[in-house]
Amino acid sequence: MRDSLITLFLFCSFQIVGGQEAPAYAIVIHGGAGNISPEYITTDEAAAISAKLSQVLEKGISILDSGGTSLDAIEAVIRIMEDSPLFNAGKGAVFTHEGKNELGASIMDGKTLNAGAVAGIGDIKNPISAARIVMEESPHVLLYGAGASRFVASHGAEVVDSNYFFTEKRWKQLQRQLKKKEVEKYGTVGCVALDKHGNLAAGTSTGGMTNKRFGRIGDSPITGAGNYANNNSCAVSATGHGEFLIRYTVAHDISAMMQYGDLPIQEAARSVIHEKLKDAGGTGGVICVDKQGNIAMEFNTTGMLRAYATANGEKVLKVFE
Protein backbone atom coordinates (compact mmCIF):
# COMPACT_ATOMS: atom_id res chain seq x y z
CA MET A 1 0.00 0.00 0.00
CA ARG A 2 1.87 3.03 -1.28
CA ASP A 3 -0.10 5.81 0.28
CA SER A 4 -0.48 4.57 3.78
CA LEU A 5 -3.09 6.71 5.41
CA ILE A 6 -4.57 5.53 8.66
CA THR A 7 -7.36 7.41 10.31
CA LEU A 8 -8.87 5.92 13.42
CA PHE A 9 -11.40 7.35 15.79
CA LEU A 10 -10.79 6.26 19.36
CA PHE A 11 -12.47 8.49 21.88
CA CYS A 12 -13.27 12.13 22.54
CA SER A 13 -11.48 14.25 25.09
CA PHE A 14 -11.78 18.04 24.97
CA GLN A 15 -10.79 21.06 26.95
CA ILE A 16 -12.08 24.60 26.57
CA VAL A 17 -9.44 27.06 25.30
CA GLY A 18 -10.56 30.68 24.87
CA GLY A 19 -14.20 29.60 24.56
CA GLN A 20 -13.41 27.10 21.78
CA GLU A 21 -13.32 23.36 22.04
CA ALA A 22 -9.76 22.21 21.46
CA PRO A 23 -8.13 18.80 21.60
CA ALA A 24 -6.61 18.20 25.04
CA TYR A 25 -3.39 17.20 23.33
CA ALA A 26 -1.85 16.78 19.90
CA ILE A 27 1.39 15.31 18.59
CA VAL A 28 3.04 15.53 15.17
CA ILE A 29 6.18 13.70 14.00
CA HIS A 30 8.33 13.77 10.88
CA GLY A 31 11.05 11.50 9.56
CA GLY A 32 12.53 13.94 7.07
CA ALA A 33 11.64 15.55 3.75
CA GLY A 34 13.30 14.90 0.40
CA ASN A 35 13.08 12.44 -2.48
CA ILE A 36 10.49 10.32 -0.74
CA SER A 37 8.83 8.47 -3.58
CA PRO A 38 8.57 4.82 -4.70
CA GLU A 39 11.52 5.53 -6.99
CA TYR A 40 13.86 5.99 -4.01
CA ILE A 41 12.20 3.94 -1.24
CA THR A 42 11.40 0.25 -1.69
CA THR A 43 8.06 -1.22 -0.65
CA ASP A 44 9.78 -3.09 2.22
CA GLU A 45 11.47 0.07 3.43
CA ALA A 46 8.18 1.98 3.25
CA ALA A 47 6.49 -0.73 5.32
CA ALA A 48 9.27 -0.61 7.93
CA ILE A 49 9.09 3.19 8.10
CA SER A 50 5.32 3.09 8.41
CA ALA A 51 5.50 0.53 11.27
CA LYS A 52 8.13 2.59 13.09
CA LEU A 53 6.19 5.85 12.72
CA SER A 54 3.11 4.10 14.05
CA GLN A 55 5.03 2.72 17.07
CA VAL A 56 6.48 6.16 17.74
CA LEU A 57 3.08 7.85 17.50
CA GLU A 58 1.59 5.38 20.00
CA LYS A 59 4.40 6.13 22.42
CA GLY A 60 3.70 9.85 22.18
CA ILE A 61 -0.04 9.33 22.60
CA SER A 62 0.42 7.16 25.70
CA ILE A 63 2.58 9.82 27.39
CA LEU A 64 0.30 12.74 26.52
CA ASP A 65 -2.90 10.86 27.23
CA SER A 66 -1.74 10.01 30.74
CA GLY A 67 -0.98 13.68 31.43
CA GLY A 68 2.74 13.63 30.60
CA THR A 69 4.42 16.81 29.39
CA SER A 70 5.02 17.72 25.76
CA LEU A 71 8.78 17.77 26.52
CA ASP A 72 8.66 14.19 27.85
CA ALA A 73 6.67 13.01 24.85
CA ILE A 74 9.05 14.66 22.40
CA GLU A 75 12.16 13.24 24.02
CA ALA A 76 10.72 9.72 24.21
CA VAL A 77 9.47 9.78 20.63
CA ILE A 78 12.70 11.12 19.16
CA ARG A 79 14.80 8.63 21.17
CA ILE A 80 12.95 5.76 19.46
CA MET A 81 13.55 7.32 16.05
CA GLU A 82 17.23 7.90 16.92
CA ASP A 83 17.58 4.23 17.89
CA SER A 84 16.26 3.13 14.50
CA PRO A 85 18.59 2.89 11.46
CA LEU A 86 15.67 4.01 9.27
CA PHE A 87 16.14 7.73 9.89
CA ASN A 88 19.02 10.17 9.54
CA ALA A 89 19.38 10.70 13.29
CA GLY A 90 21.12 8.72 16.03
CA LYS A 91 21.88 5.17 14.82
CA GLY A 92 20.98 5.95 11.20
CA ALA A 93 23.01 9.17 10.96
CA VAL A 94 24.68 9.94 7.63
CA PHE A 95 28.46 10.19 7.14
CA THR A 96 30.56 13.30 6.68
CA HIS A 97 33.05 13.63 3.81
CA GLU A 98 35.72 12.20 6.12
CA GLY A 99 33.57 9.16 6.95
CA LYS A 100 32.54 10.30 10.43
CA ASN A 101 29.17 10.94 12.05
CA GLU A 102 28.52 14.41 13.41
CA LEU A 103 25.10 14.65 14.97
CA GLY A 104 22.99 17.54 16.19
CA ALA A 105 19.73 18.05 18.02
CA SER A 106 17.66 20.71 19.74
CA ILE A 107 14.68 20.94 22.05
CA MET A 108 12.54 23.89 23.14
CA ASP A 109 9.96 24.46 25.86
CA GLY A 110 7.14 26.75 24.66
CA LYS A 111 6.12 27.71 28.17
CA THR A 112 9.45 29.12 29.34
CA LEU A 113 11.22 29.63 25.98
CA ASN A 114 14.09 27.63 27.42
CA ALA A 115 16.04 25.79 24.75
CA GLY A 116 18.95 23.37 24.55
CA ALA A 117 21.00 22.01 21.65
CA VAL A 118 24.09 20.04 20.73
CA ALA A 119 26.04 19.99 17.47
CA GLY A 120 28.99 18.08 16.04
CA ILE A 121 28.80 15.17 18.47
CA GLY A 122 29.79 11.62 17.48
CA ASP A 123 29.68 9.56 20.66
CA ILE A 124 26.33 10.21 22.38
CA LYS A 125 23.63 7.63 21.63
CA ASN A 126 20.65 9.97 21.91
CA PRO A 127 21.39 13.58 20.91
CA ILE A 128 17.84 14.71 21.79
CA SER A 129 18.46 13.76 25.43
CA ALA A 130 21.79 15.56 25.24
CA ALA A 131 19.93 18.68 24.04
CA ARG A 132 17.53 18.40 26.96
CA ILE A 133 20.43 18.09 29.39
CA VAL A 134 21.94 21.28 27.96
CA MET A 135 18.58 23.03 28.40
CA GLU A 136 18.00 21.84 31.94
CA GLU A 137 21.47 21.49 33.43
CA SER A 138 23.53 24.27 31.85
CA PRO A 139 23.24 28.05 31.58
CA HIS A 140 23.80 27.70 27.81
CA VAL A 141 21.70 26.94 24.76
CA LEU A 142 24.10 25.28 22.28
CA LEU A 143 27.16 23.15 23.04
CA TYR A 144 29.48 21.78 20.35
CA GLY A 145 31.76 18.75 19.86
CA ALA A 146 33.88 17.09 22.53
CA GLY A 147 32.92 19.66 25.16
CA ALA A 148 29.23 18.98 24.58
CA SER A 149 29.80 15.22 24.88
CA ARG A 150 31.82 15.63 28.07
CA PHE A 151 29.16 17.83 29.65
CA VAL A 152 26.14 15.67 28.81
CA ALA A 153 27.98 12.45 29.73
CA SER A 154 28.68 13.95 33.17
CA HIS A 155 24.89 14.36 33.49
CA GLY A 156 24.09 10.76 32.57
CA ALA A 157 23.83 10.76 28.75
CA GLU A 158 24.76 7.37 27.29
CA VAL A 159 28.16 7.38 25.58
CA VAL A 160 28.78 4.97 22.67
CA ASP A 161 31.78 4.04 20.57
CA SER A 162 31.76 5.98 17.29
CA ASN A 163 31.36 2.59 15.47
CA TYR A 164 27.84 2.40 16.89
CA PHE A 165 26.72 4.83 14.17
CA PHE A 166 28.09 2.72 11.28
CA THR A 167 25.41 1.39 8.93
CA GLU A 168 26.08 -0.15 5.53
CA LYS A 169 23.31 1.88 3.89
CA ARG A 170 24.69 5.25 4.97
CA TRP A 171 28.25 4.20 4.06
CA LYS A 172 27.16 3.32 0.53
CA GLN A 173 25.27 6.61 0.36
CA LEU A 174 28.51 8.45 1.15
CA GLN A 175 30.43 6.52 -1.52
CA ARG A 176 27.80 7.54 -4.09
CA GLN A 177 27.93 11.17 -3.01
CA LEU A 178 31.74 11.21 -3.06
CA LYS A 179 31.67 10.11 -6.69
CA LYS A 180 29.04 12.71 -7.58
CA LYS A 181 30.84 15.36 -5.48
CA GLU A 182 27.51 16.34 -3.94
CA VAL A 183 25.93 16.58 -0.54
CA GLU A 184 22.61 14.90 0.07
CA LYS A 185 19.86 15.78 2.51
CA TYR A 186 17.22 13.45 3.81
CA GLY A 187 15.79 11.86 6.93
CA THR A 188 16.12 14.23 9.91
CA VAL A 189 13.51 13.51 12.59
CA GLY A 190 11.34 15.86 14.60
CA CYS A 191 8.37 16.06 16.90
CA VAL A 192 6.08 18.86 18.12
CA ALA A 193 3.44 18.44 20.79
CA LEU A 194 0.72 20.15 22.82
CA ASP A 195 0.09 18.57 26.22
CA LYS A 196 -2.97 18.50 28.48
CA HIS A 197 -1.44 21.34 30.53
CA GLY A 198 -1.62 23.57 27.44
CA ASN A 199 2.13 23.63 26.86
CA LEU A 200 3.85 23.39 23.49
CA ALA A 201 7.32 21.93 22.84
CA ALA A 202 9.47 21.06 19.83
CA GLY A 203 12.42 18.73 19.19
CA THR A 204 14.59 17.96 16.16
CA SER A 205 17.49 15.52 15.70
CA THR A 206 19.75 14.87 12.72
CA GLY A 207 22.91 13.42 11.25
CA GLY A 208 23.01 16.45 8.93
CA MET A 209 23.88 16.00 5.27
CA THR A 210 25.80 13.13 3.69
CA ASN A 211 29.27 14.27 2.56
CA LYS A 212 29.19 17.47 4.63
CA ARG A 213 32.62 19.01 5.29
CA PHE A 214 34.62 21.35 7.48
CA GLY A 215 32.48 21.03 10.61
CA ARG A 216 29.33 22.13 8.77
CA ILE A 217 26.33 22.60 11.10
CA GLY A 218 22.79 22.67 9.71
CA ASP A 219 19.55 24.13 10.98
CA SER A 220 18.47 21.29 13.29
CA PRO A 221 20.50 22.40 16.33
CA ILE A 222 19.81 26.09 15.62
CA THR A 223 16.90 27.38 17.71
CA GLY A 224 14.60 29.46 15.50
CA ALA A 225 15.84 27.82 12.28
CA GLY A 226 15.13 24.06 12.55
CA ASN A 227 13.26 24.12 15.84
CA TYR A 228 11.09 26.53 17.82
CA ALA A 229 8.30 26.51 20.41
CA ASN A 230 6.36 29.35 21.99
CA ASN A 231 3.09 28.99 23.90
CA ASN A 232 1.99 32.32 22.38
CA SER A 233 2.14 30.96 18.84
CA CYS A 234 3.15 27.42 17.93
CA ALA A 235 5.77 24.65 17.98
CA VAL A 236 7.71 23.89 14.79
CA SER A 237 10.26 21.28 13.68
CA ALA A 238 11.83 21.66 10.24
CA THR A 239 13.69 19.40 7.83
CA GLY A 240 15.37 20.04 4.51
CA HIS A 241 18.24 22.11 3.13
CA GLY A 242 19.70 23.48 6.34
CA GLU A 243 21.49 26.49 4.85
CA PHE A 244 18.15 27.90 3.62
CA LEU A 245 16.32 26.98 6.81
CA ILE A 246 18.93 28.93 8.78
CA ARG A 247 18.96 31.99 6.51
CA TYR A 248 15.18 32.19 6.48
CA THR A 249 14.87 31.31 10.22
CA VAL A 250 12.01 29.14 9.11
CA ALA A 251 10.71 27.82 12.44
CA HIS A 252 10.69 31.24 14.08
CA ASP A 253 9.26 32.90 10.99
CA ILE A 254 6.15 30.71 11.16
CA SER A 255 5.78 31.58 14.84
CA ALA A 256 6.26 35.30 14.12
CA MET A 257 3.67 35.33 11.34
CA MET A 258 1.18 33.87 13.81
CA GLN A 259 2.17 36.08 16.72
CA TYR A 260 2.49 39.44 14.97
CA GLY A 261 0.40 38.90 11.85
CA ASP A 262 -2.38 36.89 13.46
CA LEU A 263 -2.17 34.26 10.73
CA PRO A 264 -3.64 30.80 11.33
CA ILE A 265 -1.02 28.07 11.60
CA GLN A 266 -1.73 26.47 8.21
CA GLU A 267 -1.46 29.80 6.39
CA ALA A 268 1.78 30.74 8.14
CA ALA A 269 3.37 27.35 7.40
CA ARG A 270 2.17 27.37 3.80
CA SER A 271 3.46 30.87 3.16
CA VAL A 272 6.93 30.14 4.57
CA ILE A 273 7.40 26.77 2.86
CA HIS A 274 5.66 27.33 -0.49
CA GLU A 275 6.44 31.00 -1.00
CA LYS A 276 9.40 32.38 0.94
CA LEU A 277 11.52 29.20 1.03
CA LYS A 278 10.55 27.98 -2.43
CA ASP A 279 11.13 31.38 -4.06
CA ALA A 280 14.60 31.42 -2.50
CA GLY A 281 15.38 27.97 -3.96
CA GLY A 282 15.23 26.20 -0.60
CA THR A 283 13.76 22.73 -0.24
CA GLY A 284 12.22 21.36 2.92
CA GLY A 285 9.23 20.94 5.15
CA VAL A 286 7.83 21.62 8.61
CA ILE A 287 5.48 20.12 11.15
CA CYS A 288 3.64 22.55 13.42
CA VAL A 289 1.05 22.57 16.19
CA ASP A 290 -0.57 25.49 17.97
CA LYS A 291 -2.14 26.02 21.38
CA GLN A 292 -5.57 24.97 20.06
CA GLY A 293 -4.17 21.72 18.71
CA ASN A 294 -4.35 22.89 15.07
CA ILE A 295 -1.79 21.07 12.96
CA ALA A 296 0.16 22.00 9.83
CA MET A 297 2.46 19.71 7.82
CA GLU A 298 3.87 21.48 4.76
CA PHE A 299 6.74 20.57 2.41
CA ASN A 300 7.95 21.66 -1.02
CA THR A 301 9.90 18.43 -1.69
CA THR A 302 8.66 15.21 -3.31
CA GLY A 303 7.62 13.93 0.09
CA MET A 304 7.92 14.10 3.85
CA LEU A 305 7.51 11.17 6.26
CA ARG A 306 4.93 12.35 8.75
CA ALA A 307 2.20 11.42 11.21
CA TYR A 308 -0.03 13.06 13.78
CA ALA A 309 -2.55 12.22 16.44
CA THR A 310 -4.93 14.28 18.54
CA ALA A 311 -6.87 13.60 21.71
CA ASN A 312 -10.12 13.59 19.76
CA GLY A 313 -9.03 10.34 18.23
CA GLU A 314 -7.66 11.37 14.87
CA LYS A 315 -4.56 9.54 13.66
CA VAL A 316 -2.90 10.12 10.31
CA LEU A 317 0.30 8.55 9.00
CA LYS A 318 1.78 9.24 5.58
CA VAL A 319 4.85 7.77 3.92
CA PHE A 320 4.23 8.76 0.29
CA GLU A 321 2.13 11.73 -0.72
Give residues in contact with ligand ASP (CB under 6 A): 32, 88, 185-188, 206, 208-209, 218-220, 226, 239-240, 242, 245
Please state whether 46 falls in left (phi above 0), alpha (psi between -120 and 50) or beta. alpha
Question: CB of 153: closest distance to ligand ASP in angstroms?
Answer: 24
Q: Given the complex with ligand ASP, which of 104 and 116 has the nearer CB atom?
A: 104
Q: Give me the sign of the Cα torsion angle 278, 53, 95, 107.
A: positive
For residues 7 and 288, the answer to whether their CB atoms sit within 8 Å is: no
CB of 303 to ligand ASP, least distance (A): 12
Nearer to ligand ASP, 170 or 196 (CB): 170
Question: Maximum Cα–Cα distance for the chain, whole Å?
Answer: 59
Least distance to ligand ASP, CB of residue 22, Å: 30
Residue 246: CB minimum distance to ligand ASP, A: 8
Query: Nearest-CA neighbor of 197 among 67, 4, 285?
Result: 67
In one-letter notation, the amino acid at residue 156 is G
Q: How far apart, in Å, do the first and last CA atoms of the chain sit?
A: 12
CB of 206 to ligand ASP, least distance (A): 5
34 versus 68: smaller Cβ distance to ligand ASP: 34
**Full strand arrangement of the beta sheet holding 200-206:** 142-144, 115-121, 103-109, 200-206, 189-194, 26-34, 303-310, 315-318
Tell me, what amino acid is at 44? D
Active site residues: 188
- Of residues 24 and 272, the one with the C-beta less far from ligand ASP: 272
Our CA angle for 45, 49, 54, nearest 5°, is 150
Closest CA to 73 of 232, 241, 203, 210: 203
> β-strand 115-121 against 142-144: which pairing, if any?
parallel
Q: Beta strands 115-121 and 284-290: pairing type?
A: unpaired
Give whichever of 116 and 242 is closer to ligand ASP, judged by the CB atom: 242
| Nearest CB to ligand ASP, comparing residues 199 and 283 | 283
**Least separation, in Å, of the C-beta of 113 and ligand ASP?**
22
Helices 70-83/43-65 angle, 10° precision: 150
**In the chain, where does DSSP find H-type helix?**
43-65, 70-83, 127-137, 145-153, 168-180, 242-247, 250-261, 265-270, 278-280
